[in-house]
C-alpha cells in the first residue's frame, strides 16, 4: 500500500490499527485511550504520505521499546517486610535518551505507565529538545508513610532501577508522589551504587545539580500556554476567574503564575474534595497550601478551616462557574458531563497541567464548542523542557541564571504554541491544538525512525 489513501481507506486503516492495539493490549484502558487520541489525528495526516504507512511508524511507536518490571522489597518502621511492584517503560529513544517522570501512587499499573510513556514521546518531541519518551513508577502509596519509610522505599526502588538508567540512556524525574524529597533519596542511592555524580535524574535540589525553575516549570508553563492561546484570540489570562484542580507541584505553581498574570484562582483540590475561595487564592494563602502539602502532608480541607472558603467533599471543581480551567491533578478527571458544565457556565479555555485529564468525549465537547483547548502533551511540556535544560547544564557542568531559565521556558511554550497552530489550524481559522500537538510531536520522531531503517 503506497498510494494516497482516500478518506474511506483512511478510516478503514484507522479502525484496523485501533483494533490491533486493543488486541495486543487487552484491558489497558488508559493506554488504548492515549493511542487512539493520537491515531485519530495521525491517520488523516499521513494519508498522502504513504512512507509512514509503509514503514509502520505509528505501529512501532505504540509498542514500547522495552518494559522493565521488578520487585521492590523494603522494611517499614515496625520491621514488617513490604513488597511493591516497580516499572520503567522505555517507549521510544529515536530523538534522545528516554526521558520522563516516576510516579508513586497506589493506582499505578502498566496501562497507566504505558499511556504516560507514549504521551511523553510526543510531548518531548514538541519541546524541540533531544529527549525520547519513558515513564516509570510503583504502586507504593506514600500516604501516611514516615520520612524514613519513604527513604528506604526509594533506595530499594533505585537498587533495581539503576541497572537500566544513565545520563545518555534514560533520565527519570518526578511525577505524582515523587517530588524534591524523593528525587534526593533516589539520586543519593544512585550515586552510592555507581560512584558517579552524573545527570541521571532531573528535578534535583539546587545544591546537587538541579536547575532553577524546574520546580515551577510545569505549572508556570501551563498558564503561559493558556496565555498564548488567548493571545491568539486577542485576549489574556489577566482578569479571568480560574478553576484549578490538584494541590501538588503543578497546581500550586499554576496558581502562582495565574496570580502573576492578573487572574484569580478560586479552587484547589485533592483526592478528598475541593475548596472554593471566592476571594481568590492569593500569595499568602498559596504559601499556606505549599506548607500544608509539602511539609505537613495534610488535606486540602484544612484550607477551609483557616480561610473563608467552602470545602466540597468527594467533588471536583468543574461545576464552579469560571472563565478558564486548569486540570492539574490526574488522568480522566474531567468527564463529558464536567466538560458540558464548564462550557455551559462560560468557560472559554482549558489548559491541561495534568496528563490526559480530560476523557475522550469531554475533549470533543471542548472542540465542538471551539474553546481554547490546550492538550496535556503541549500545555504541560514546560516541566520536561526545563528537565532537558537541566540535562544540558549537568553535561556542561554549569548553572544558568533564574532569569535565563524563565526566558527559555516562556520561549519554549511560545514555540510549542506556534507548532500547534502550524499543524492544527482549521479552515475556519479555529486552532485544534489537540491535532496540532499530535502531528507536531509525531513528525520529528517519525522522521528519525525513517532514517534508522527497520530497527
Ligand atoms: P503531586 O503529587 O505533587 O500532586 C498531585 C495532586 O493531584 C495532589 O493534590 C493529589 O491529591 C491529586 N491527585 C492525585 N491522584 C489523584 C486522584 N486519583 N484523584 C484525585 N486527585 C488526585 O503531583 P504533580 O503535581 O507533580 O502531578 C499532577 C499531574 O501533573 C499528574 O497528572 C502528572 O502526571 C502531571 N505532570 C507533572 C509534571 C511535573 O513536573 N511534576 C510534569 C507534567 C505533568 P492527593 O494528595 O489527595 O493524592
Ligand atoms: O509528565 C511529565 O512530563 C513529567 N512528569 C516530567 C518529566 C520530566 O522528565 O521532567
Identify the residue whose C-alpha is closest to ligand 1 atom 23.
Answer: 176
Give 68-88 as a DSSP string: EEEEEEEE-TTS-EEEEEEEE
Q: Is the pLDDT of residue 4 over 90?
A: no
Give the closest ligand to the alpha carbon of residue 106.
1
Residue bearing cell 482549558: 350
Work out how many domains the chain is built from and give that number: 3
CA atoms within 13 A on the CB side of 163: 9
- Give burial (CB, 10 Å; 0-12/13-18/19+) of 455: exposed
Give the closest ligand to the alpha carbon of residue 179.
1
* Same domain, yes or no: 80 and 188: yes
Residues 298-345: pLDDT tens digits?
999 999 999 999 999 999 999 999 999 999 999 999 999 999 999 999
Q: Is the pLDDT of residue 105 over 70?
A: yes
Q: Is the pLDDT of residue 52 over 90?
A: yes
Identify the residue whose C-alpha is closest to ligand 2 atom 9.
Answer: 100
Residues with CB under 6 A from ligand 1: 105, 107, 174-177, 179, 218, 246-251, 270-271, 328-330, 353-355, 380, 383
Give the closest ligand to the alpha carbon of residue 102.
2
Mean pLDDT of the chain: 98
Identify the residue whose C-alpha is closest to ligand 1 atom 33.
Answer: 354
Expressed in angstroms and rounded, the spacing between residue 408 Cα and the centre of ligand 2 is 17
Q: Single out the catalytic residue among 99, 114, 123, 135.
A: 135
Q: Is the pLDDT of residue 168 over 90?
A: yes
Which domain-ending residue is among 320, 351, 374? 374
Q: Which of 175, 281, 380 has most ligand 1 atoms within 8 Å of CB, for mutation?
A: 175
Give the closest ligand to the alpha carbon of residue 132.
2
Residue 203 alpha carbon, nearest atom of ligand 2: 10
Cβ pair 451, 393 in contact under 8 A: no
Domain for residue 173, yes or no? yes
* Same domain, yes or no: 53 and 107: no
Which set of grid coordinates corresponds to residue 126? 514538541
Expressed in angstroms and rounded, the spacing between residue 383 Cα and the centre of ligand 2 is 6
228-245 burial string, b = 16+ CB within 10 Å, else e?
A: bbbebeebebeebbbbbb
* Same domain, yes or no: 164 and 34: no
Residue 251 alpha carbon, nearest atom of ligand 1: 25
Q: How far apart are the first and last CA of the chain?
A: 21
Length of the chain: 455
* Same domain, yes or no: 234 and 345: yes
Expressed in angstroms and rounded, the spacing between residue 105 Cα and the centre of ligand 1 is 9
Q: Is the pLDDT of residue 419 over 60?
A: yes
* Same domain, yes or no: 121 and 107: yes
* Same domain, yes or no: 74 and 147: yes
Phi, psi of 102 (to 5 degrees): -120, 130
Q: Is the pLDDT of residue 453 over 70?
A: yes
Expressed in angstroms and rounded, the spacing between residue 38 Cα and the centre of ligand 2 is 19
Cβ pair 123, 96 in contact under 8 A: no
* Same domain, yes or no: 229 and 352: yes
* 135 in active site: yes
pLDDT at 2: 58
Q: Give the pLDDT mean for 62-71.
A: 98
Which set of grid coordinates corresponds to residue 359? 476523557
Q: Which residues pair with 41 in a beta bridge?
A: none
User: Helices 360-369 and 29-45: crossing angle, nearest 10°?
Assistant: 40
Domain for residue 422, yes or no? no
Q: Is the pLDDT of residue 1 over 70?
A: no
> Could you tell me the CATH number of the domain that includes residue 103?
3.40.50.10860
Expressed in angstroms and rounded, the spacing between residue 13 Cα and the centre of ligand 2 is 32
Domain for residue 208, yes or no? no
Residue bearing cell 506548607: 291
Q: What percent of the chain has pLDDT over 90?
A: 99
Which domain-ending residue is among 149, 169, 197? 197
Q: Give the pLDDT mean for 5-27.
A: 96
What is the spatial distance between Cα 386 and Cα 389, in angstroms, rounded to a whole number? 5
* Same domain, yes or no: 227 and 338: yes
Sign of CA dihedral 186, 171, 222, 378: negative
Residues with CB under 6 A from ligand 2: 99-101, 120, 123, 173, 175, 202, 355, 383-384, 387
pLDDT at 289: 98
Domain for residue 446, yes or no? no
- Quick one: pLDDT band at residue 364, thresholds 50, 70, 90? very high
Identify the residue whose C-alpha is closest to ligand 1 atom 5.
Answer: 248
Helical segments of 232-335, H only? 249-260, 283-290, 301-306
Expressed in angstroms and rounded, the spacing between residue 174 Cα and the centre of ligand 2 is 6
Q: Is the pLDDT of residue 244 over 80?
A: yes
Expressed as residue numbers, the domain containing 57 is 7-61
Q: Give the pLDDT mean for 90-113.
A: 98
Domain for residue 251, yes or no? yes
Q: Which of 177, 186, 387, 389 has most ligand 2 atoms within 8 Å of CB, for mutation?
A: 387
* Same domain, yes or no: 56 and 70: no
Identify the residue whose C-alpha is closest to ligand 2 atom 3.
Answer: 384
pLDDT at 50: 94
Q: Which of 88, 93, 99, 101 has most ligand 2 atoms within 8 Å of CB, for mutation?
A: 101
Region for 335 from its dihedrals, namely left if φ exceeds 0, alpha if ψ lies in -120 to 50, beta otherwise:
beta
Sign of CA dihedral 84, 205, 416, 433: positive
Q: Which residues pair with 134 in a beta bridge?
A: 90
Residue 270 alpha carbon, nearest atom of ligand 1: 11
Domain for residue 425, yes or no? no
Residue bearing cell 518526578: 174
* Same domain, yes or no: 301 and 362: yes
Q: Which of 244, 329, 338, 412 has most ligand 1 atoms within 8 Å of CB, for mutation?
A: 329
Residue 124 alpha carbon, nearest atom of ligand 2: 3
> Could you tell me the CATH number of the domain that includes residue 343?
3.40.50.720
Which domain-ending residue is among 197, 229, 253? 197
CA-based nearest residue to 247, from 336, 201, 179, 184: 179
Residue 355 alpha carbon, nearest atom of ligand 1: 32
Residues 188-203: pLDDT tens digits?
999 999 999 999 999 9
- Give burial (CB, 10 Å; 0-12/13-18/19+) of 380: buried
Residue 174 alpha carbon, nearest atom of ligand 2: 5
- Quick one: pLDDT band at residue 426, thresholds 50, 70, 90? very high
Q: What percent of the chain has pLDDT over 70?
A: 100
Domain for residue 399, yes or no? no
Q: Give the pLDDT mean for 122-133.
A: 98
Region for 84 from its dihedrals, namely left if φ exceeds 0, alpha if ψ lies in -120 to 50, beta otherwise:
beta
* Same domain, yes or no: 226 and 361: yes
Q: Is the pLDDT of residue 3 over 90?
A: no
Neighbours of 183 (CB within 10 A): 24
The DSSP bridge pattern shows strands 372-374 and 349-351 to be parallel
Domain for residue 151, yes or no? yes
Phi, psi of 43 (to 5 degrees): -60, -50
* Same domain, yes or no: 223 and 369: yes
**CA 283 from chain center: how many Å?**
25
Amino acid at each position: 500500500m503506497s498510494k494516497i489513501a482516500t478518506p474511506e481507506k483512511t478510516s478503514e486503516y484507522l479502525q484496523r490499527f485501533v483494533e490491533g492495539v486493543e488486541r495486543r493490549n487487552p484491558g489497558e484502558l488508559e493506554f488504548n485511550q492515549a493511542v487512539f487520541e493520537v491515531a485519530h489525528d495521525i491517520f488523516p495526516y499521513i494519508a498522502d504520505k504513504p512512507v509512514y504507512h509503509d514503514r509502520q511508524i505509528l505501529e512501532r511507536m505504540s509498542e514500547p521499546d522495552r518494559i522493565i518490571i521488578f520487585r521492590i522489597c523494603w522494611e517499614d518502621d515496625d520491621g514488617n517486610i513490604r513488597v511493591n511492584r516497580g516499572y520503567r517503560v522505555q517507549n521510544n529513544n529515536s530523538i534522545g535518551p528516554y526521558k520522563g517522570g516516576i510516579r508513586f501512587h497506589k493506582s499505578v499499573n502498566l496501562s497507566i505507565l504505558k499511556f504516560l510513556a507514549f504521551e511523553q514521546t510526543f510531548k518531548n518531541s514538541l519541546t524541540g529538545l533531544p529527549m525520547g519518551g519513558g515513564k516509570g513508577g510503583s504502586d507504593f502509596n506514600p500516604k501516611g508513610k514516615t520520612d524514613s519509610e519513604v527513604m528506604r522505599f526509594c533506595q530499594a526502588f533505585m537498587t533495581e532501577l539503576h541497572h537500566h538508567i544513565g545520563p545518555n540512556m534514560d533520565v527519570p524525574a518526578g511525577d505524582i508522589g515523587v517530588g524534591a524529597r524523593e528525587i534526593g533519596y533516589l539520586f543519593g542511592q544512585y550515586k552510592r551504587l555507581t560512584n558517579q555524580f552524573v545527570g541521571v535524574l532531573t528535578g534535583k535540589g539546587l545544591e546537587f545539580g538541579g536547575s532553577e525553575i524546574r520546580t515551577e516549570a510545569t505549572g508556570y508553563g501551563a498558564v503561559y500556554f493558556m496565555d498564548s492561546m488567548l493571545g491568539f484570540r486577542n485576549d489574556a489570562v489577566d482578569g479571568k476567574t480560574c478553576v484549578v484542580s490538584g494541590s501538588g507541584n503543578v497546581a500550586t505553581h499554576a496558581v502562582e503564575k495565574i496570580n502573576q498574570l492578573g487572574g484569580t484562582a478560586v479552587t484547589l483540590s485533592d483526592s478528598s474534595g475541593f475548596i472554593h475561595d471566592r476571594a481568590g487564592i492569593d500569595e499568602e494563602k498559596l504559601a499556606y497550601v505549599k506548607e500544608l502539602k509539602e511539609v505537613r502532608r495534610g488535606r486540602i480541607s484544612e484550607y477551609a478551616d483557616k480561610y473563608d472558603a467552602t470545602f466540597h467533599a468527594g467533588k471536583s471543581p468543574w461545576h464552579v462557574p469560571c472563565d478558564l480551567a486548569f486540570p492539574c491533578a490526574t488522568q480522566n478527571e474531567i468527564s463529558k458531563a464536567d466538560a458540558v458544565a464548564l462550557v455551559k457556565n462560560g468557560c472559554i479555555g482549558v489548559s491541561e497541567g495534568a496528563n490526559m485529564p480530560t476523557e475522550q468525549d469531554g475533549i470533543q465537547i471542548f472542540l465542538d464548542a471551539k474553546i481554547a483547548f490546550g492538550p496535556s502533551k503541549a500545555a504541560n511540556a514546560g516541566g520536561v523542557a526545563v528537565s532537558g535544560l537541566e540535562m544540558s547544564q549537568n553535561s556542561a557542568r554549569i548553572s544558568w541564571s533564574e532569569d535565563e531559565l524563565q526566558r527559555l521556558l516562556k520561549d519554549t511554550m511560545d514555540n510549542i504554541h506556534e507548532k500547534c497552530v502550524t499543524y492544527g489550524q482549521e479552515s475556519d481559522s479555529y486552532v485544534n491544538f489537540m491535532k496540532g500537538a499530535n502531528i507536531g510531536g509525531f513528525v520529528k520522531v517519525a522522521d528519525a525512525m525513517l532514517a534508522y531503517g527497520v530497527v
